Structure 1
């Protein structure tokens, strides 16, 4: 897809676009009514003050955090239509502030960790509604149902979010409509619940009530999907998200206020008294005959809640690879539409993580302890990066200062309220986040170390010897066309190891030498190339300029470039063997790739040993260079090349003379 078409799709507002946005973007934040009010009330007796204070906190959190920070401000920080914390980092790294990589890696890891807890808690909270009308259903049976639903969800990811969006969109429209209708029915019995719009009730709960501040940990659950909403921007576009959010927010608030009206009518009782161990105001406020229907619709919506984080995780990993934060992994493009990608390894790792969460925590009420801690860290990191984005955009300093201060206070307050959950399960997502941070930091540092020890030489110094080698009949011909992939950014430069491979490892005579470099651009969709003749008919350099969402199929792209050059009369690719040349037979093309290994001659510090050994271990499980570039096995030669870090000092040895007879 061209960059222009992509931008048009992103700026396009349509009914179909709005509907698909419902199906892809809002699952996570849209299913929060399943557990937020239940978590706020907890095991305490229902009190009007707690209910109004809790709803007031939810109202202002959705207004300030989700609407203002994410939907209005952060969605403006898009990288050619792509969103997410790595897209934001890609924008602000132009400020040359080196330490910004820290919040980027912490935030990205925390969001991925959240992707492992969101599907289990959403699906479990929905399925547990069965106990409302079928109390004998055991926890083990619910776990089995949840795992089966998750397996189905992760299996259909390979068909792309276009299919998922079309299938899920009508269900989410039904879900949000149901939320609004259920809320209106309860609100009609008690309009006084709208008093909660007054922020004083939130203040009263937080400052006066003994347990008030820690209720924030439960309130935060209402906005956890905001970060996923930003990450998924590339799938639907900013305009569609902003317009559809108006409908979504109204439906969510109607349901929260409706649950509040129901709870106030039951003042003095506990949720256990009203609905047993798994008493949930979301299901309790439904008519008995409607509860089974409500559970089915809620379960379908919970499956979609997981979709937002899964597709967001794919986007995140794709951008992490471009920024050298993650090992190369296989990416599939299920459809031709923008933003559609599928990463099999990440998909099934997420699934295994989700199953582990379900088996460890067993119930959604227990999962709440693990939920939120990782994502609030991600939100704080986004706020830090957003500060630099606003500076870069030359926004007035007093506006930036006020805005960032407000959000740091809000998010640090959420963090303080959630921290007590750490020992009850919050440590699980934090451990996952730390593992992911370690992978990203190790890969990034190893790449920097590797790059700093790559020796670059001038091609001009080798032009004469390469031209002479090309016609040296005393050396057997290696290939008609010899192609090397190079990381050297400048046209006039090449890695020393490439020259070593051609001239010394085993002299490789070829009629034409090709050096190919791939530039991954900051924009998602672009395919361009440039050809630089270094020595006519002997040495050429090809630079590809590819968007970060474009598949890297060098084999096919290289053939297209050759066709273009032949058509323009720039190169003759027929075989130079006399008999083949007479019959216009095209010469053979051979690609040479070098795989590095850590040389035993390297003199490393302990830290460097840990980083580099971890890097080469991860490299074994990552995509090979050959597959990463989309090259055919038949035309590729892999060469091992030692990487020497801190070459040891010269050993001064004294020669002993041979004894004379």
Structure 2
């Protein structure tokens, strides 16, 4: 039985449906604010383009969102959790190169997290320009976004409880507004026929620009998968029926308004607000602004979760991760909060208006879709799905997504370069960190610990050597029980011999499952040398100091170990001995041995380490009980050194 079944998160319930509305559909649910504005791009309203654009939107939501994500991708759950890094964890053993699409998907999702708040909040607030065309909306957008990022440090669990009901009001509102307007031009319903979409894409002179604009209707589809762990696939699938109906009704209502105004210039008008009755307009702008803030909050929270996963999968530098509330899964990553905030301000400074942001939006998330499709194919292979179905999936969705990519590439010169630059920067950070760790691991030499059992036992009893610590703990990366880094033995025996009553080796294994806290204890030398292997899910907090203490307490309670200090006075009063963690920081002393590519990667790694957390903080160790030792990974040999001795 999967964990989502055990904890009931996958049960269909009213609460689950409300949660889905509140945190899953914010991004895709606010797309009616700007899709038709982007399709017509202030130009003349043409009836053929209304039918063609509507048909494209309808079938994009059907093929891309409903079939690919809701029906197919949600099946690729990792113990109830979703998202591109969860998917990568399921398939990474298939091939080493799959880290590339995983990093592309993660980096483009984060870049999307910078433009989503800017475009959604701007589109909503710009509705005020209906009252006054010269109304300064940019300062209000900046103020709302600043406040949104400011409150992240305090947690959003209280506000989060309101998200579901508020988004229920939003979807109900846009559905009713759209439905009420369809009656004024019912012929708009003919756009359901896919022939209109095909003819428009073939015959429209600016088909690529049109494709890029249409893609905006599905930009939030990835969130359906990324946030699956918060609501469960059944709740997402059922609530999507309501959401899709509301979206389609609103799009078709906007289409009816456009048909009525055929031949006119779109200009600064927004069909989304145009279908609202005058008496409802201010209320509509308010509801839209609230929905835009909720969509932005969902994207920010998703970015925090993504980075926390990336840190534990070793594709992002160790950074401070806080838990501002007791709500399950709520994180706050200060460094990412600042990066996203600065990114949003840059987007607003460059583009000013949502109509300009639309020209840049979609390129990054398009790459996420392609990366997800790539990993999904390997997931299907792992599940032994019929290869004919896998081939059809690849053919259909790579055709659709590569076509969208062609349309979005046109956006590069219109501002898409900004999000592409942001995504590329994040990709370089992730890839450099991942690759640098691989390079370092290649230079780590492991030895058989069994060969050192006698000397470790003797060292522990050698009274001629001062006691370094009663309990001496080393963090090791050795996967095999009887292996240890040569540098750890060097630290114990050669680099100022360290006598201790008990030596501990602690290994942390991040599993492919999102959750789980398990450990295994091996008494290599009974009561002298003990190894603990932690097996932690990639979404679990790595508070090694706390977890280690709990394990030791359990072992003491079970009579497996005695941690009483061996100092005579302390032993007499049965006082526990002190614990000291030794963290070895592996450094390169001679980078000339590396290829030029590896040298560049290691230079990037050094720079990133400067901004990241230290090893002891990254593992949640109390720095007052930590000894940090720097050890060289590659010691220059003396074979080629020539020197003359003078008599």
Give the TM bin, normalised by the shorter chain: over 0.9
Matched, 1:93 2:97: no
Matched, 1:117 2:106: no
- SS of the residue corresponding to residue 93 of structure 2 reads helix
Structure 1 residue 268 and structure 2 residue 263: aligned? yes
Cα distance, 1:266–1:587 mapped onto 2, change above 3 Å: same
In 2, Cα distance between equivalents of 1:213 and 1:472? 78
Query: 2:69 corresponds to which residue?
Result: 70
Question: How far, CA to CA, are the matches of 2:464 and 2:18 in structure 1?
Answer: 69
Residue 204 of structure 2 is matched in structure 1 by: 209
| 2:319 equivalent to 1:324 | no
Q: Indicate conservation of the 8 Å contact 1:92/1:389, yes or no.
A: yes
- TM-score between both structures, scaled by the size of structure 1: 0.95
1:9 Cα deviation from its structure 2 partner: 3.2
Q: Given that residues 467 and 498 in structure 2 are in contact (C-alpha distance below 8 angstroms), is that contact kept between their aligned partners in structure 1?
A: yes
User: Shift of residue 523 of structure 1?
Assistant: 1.7
User: What is the CA-CA distance between 1:283 and the residue it aligns to?
Assistant: 0.8
Aligned residue runs from structure 1 range 30-45, under 5 A: 30-45=29-44
Return the alpha-carbon distance in structure 2 between the equivalents of residues 37 and 596 of structure 1.
Answer: 55
Change (3 A) 1:5 1:421: closer
State the TM-score, normalizing by the size of structure 2: 0.97
Question: Residue 154 of structure 1 is aligned with which of 134, 149, 156?
Answer: 149
Q: Which residue of 1 aligns with 2:640?
A: 651
1:464 alignment partner, SS class? helix
1:478 pairs, out of 468, 472, 494, with 468
Check the 8 A contact 1:205/1:213 in 2, yes or no: no
Partner of 2:214: 219
Aligned partner of 1:18 in structure 2 is 17
- Encode CA deviations 1:13-51: one digit per residue, 9 max, x unaligned: 211111121111111100000010111122322121110
CA deviations on 1:517-568 (whole Å, 9 max, x unpaired) are 1112222221222211111121111111222222222222222212211222
Partner of 1:386: 376
Whether 1:183 aligns to 2:172 is no
Question: For residues 376 and 507 of structure 1, do their structure 2 counterparts lie closer, same or farther at Cα, with a shift above 3 Å needed?
Answer: same
Offset from partner CA, 1:569-594 (integer Å, 9 cap, x none)? 11111111112211111111111111
Q: Secondary structure at the match of 1:129?
A: helix
- Which residue of the partner structure matches residue 195 of structure 1? 190
2:622 maps to which residue? 632
Aligned to 2:104: 106
1:90-112 deviation per Cα after TM superposition (whole angstroms, max 9, x unaligned):
111121x2222221111211111
Matched, 1:458 2:448: yes
Partner of residue 392, structure 2: 402
Q: CA shift at 1:126, angstroms?
A: 0.6
Separation (CA, whole Å) in 2 of partners of 1:149 and 1:472: 66
Alignment of 1:490-505 (within 5 A): 490-505=480-495
Alignment match of 2:611 (pick from 615, 618, 621) = 621
Q: How far has the Cα of 1:335 moved from its partner?
A: 4.1
Deviation per CA, 1:304-354: give whole Å up to 9, x if none.
Answer: 121232122122212222222111112223444443322221122101100
Query: 1:170/1:567 Cα in 2 relative to 1: closer, same or farther (>3 Å)?
Result: same
1:451–1:35 Cα change, 3 Å: same
CA distance in 2, matches of 1:72, 1:334: 34
Question: Residue by residue, what CA displacement relative to the aligned partner does 1:405-431 show, whole Å, maximum 9, x if unpaired?
Answer: 111111111111122211110111111
Query: What are structure 2's unaligned runs of at least 5 residues?
Result: none
Q: Residue in 2 aligned with 1:56? A: 55
Q: Structure 2: how far apart are the matches of 1:94 and 1:102? A: 14
CA-CA distance at 1:601 after TM superposition: 7.1
1:247 and 2:250 matched: no
The C-alpha deviation readout for 1:152-183, integer Å capped at 9, x for no partner, is 22233345464343122221111111101110
Q: Do the aligned partners of 2:126 and 2:137 also contact (CA within 8 Å) in 1?
A: yes
* SS state at 1:358 partner: helix
The answer for the alignment partner of 1:275 in structure 2 is: none
Q: For 2:494, what is the secondary structure of its paired residue? A: helix
Cα pair 2:469 2:499 within 8 Å, conserved? yes
Report the alpha carbon displacement of residue 358 of structure 1 after superposing the two structures with TM.
0.5
In 2, Cα distance between the equivalents of 1:576 and 1:76?
56
Q: Is the 8 A contact 2:521 2:533 kept in 1?
A: yes
Tell me the residue number matched to 2:366: 376
- Residues 483 and 119 (structure 1 numbering): CA distance in 2 closer, same or farther, change over 3 Å? same
In the alignment, the residues of structure 2 paired with residue 642 and residue 544 of structure 1 have an alpha-carbon distance, to the nearest angstrom, of 27
What SS does the corresponding residue of 1:579 show, helix, strand or coil? helix
Contact 1:133 1:292 in 2 (8 A): no
Pair 635,109 (structure 1): closer, same or farther in 2 beyond 3 Å: same
Residues 360 and 418 in structure 2, CA contact (< 8 A), matched pair in contact too? yes
Q: Deviation at 1:210?
A: 2.4
Aligned length: 647
TM superposition shift of 1:193: 0.9
Which residue does the alignment assign to 1:355?
Answer: 345
Structure 1 unmatched runs, 5+: 273-277
CA RMSD of the aligned region, Å? 1.8
Distance 1:402 1:428 in 2: 34
1:467-546 pair list within 5 angstroms:
467-546=457-536
Matches within 5 A, 1:292-311: 292-311=282-301
Structure 1 equivalent of residue 582 of structure 2: 592
Distance 1:260 1:654, change over 3 A: closer
